[in-house]
Every structure is written in C-alpha cells, then in structure tokens.
C-alpha cells in the first residue's frame, strides 16, 4: 500500500537548507521514496488560511518505508535542523479511499 508524506515548511532561518537539500534527497531515495512535489507554488482553495512557504509531497511504497526514513539515524540531524529553523508540519497519509 502506498503512503504519502505531505509536508509544509516555512523557514525561519535558511542556515540549515543547503545541507538538508544535499543529504535528504539521497535518504528519501534510500528508503524507496520519490518526491512528487517540492514547490513554493501552491494555492489554498478552501478552509481557514494556513500559510506555508513550501509544500512537499513524497510518495512511499509502504508506511514502514516512510517510518524508516523518518527514524533513520542519518536523517535525525537534518530533521532537528529543519524543526529548529522552520515552522513545519508532516502528515503521513495512507493511499487508500476508505469512503468508496
């Protein structure tokens, strides 16, 4: 079953970004993930306004792959840097239509 990470990021500091980008792409690939979108070009069409500078969507082959990435010791310093240098949210979404 596919899973999707949907991440919002608004940097409060840009110091962490170069090292994050340099390392995290390879870590995502290592765990079978694929970036589907990484963009500042997004538009909220409904609901209470929630600003974010970037929206990122990563496709995963399984929930375990996503969790393995998130818990990877090589990712931890980059995660800490992103959380310290941004306002971020990360949602893991099951690729299943349970309302059909």
pLDDT, mean over the chain: 95
b/e for 30-54, b at 16 or more Cβ within 10 A? Answer: ebebeeeeeeeeeeeeeeeeeebeb
Mean predicted confidence (pLDDT) in 46-55: 91
**Local confidence band at 50 (pLDDT 50, 70, 90 cut-offs):** confident
Exposed (0-12), middle (13-18) or buried (19+): which is 66, by Cβ within 10 Å?
A: buried
Q: Which domains does the chain have, with CATH numbers?
A: 3-42+52-94 (3.30.70.100)
**Helices assigned H by DSSP within 39-75:** 63-71
**Local confidence band at 35 (pLDDT 50, 70, 90 cut-offs):** very high
pTM of the model: 0.92
């Amino acid at each position: 079953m596919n899973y999707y990470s949907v991440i919002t990021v608004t940097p409060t500091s840009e110091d962490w970004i170069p090292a994050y980008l340099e390392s995290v792409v390879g870590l995502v690939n290592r765990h079978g993930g694929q970036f589907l979108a990484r963009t500042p070009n997004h538009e909220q069409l409904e609901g209470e306004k929630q600003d974010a500078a970037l929206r990122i969507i990563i496709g995963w082959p399984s929930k375990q792959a996503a969790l393995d990435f998130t818990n990877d010791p090589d990712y931890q310093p980059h995660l800490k840097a992103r959380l310290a240098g941004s306002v971020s949210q990360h949602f893991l979404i099951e690729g299943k239509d349970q309302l059909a």
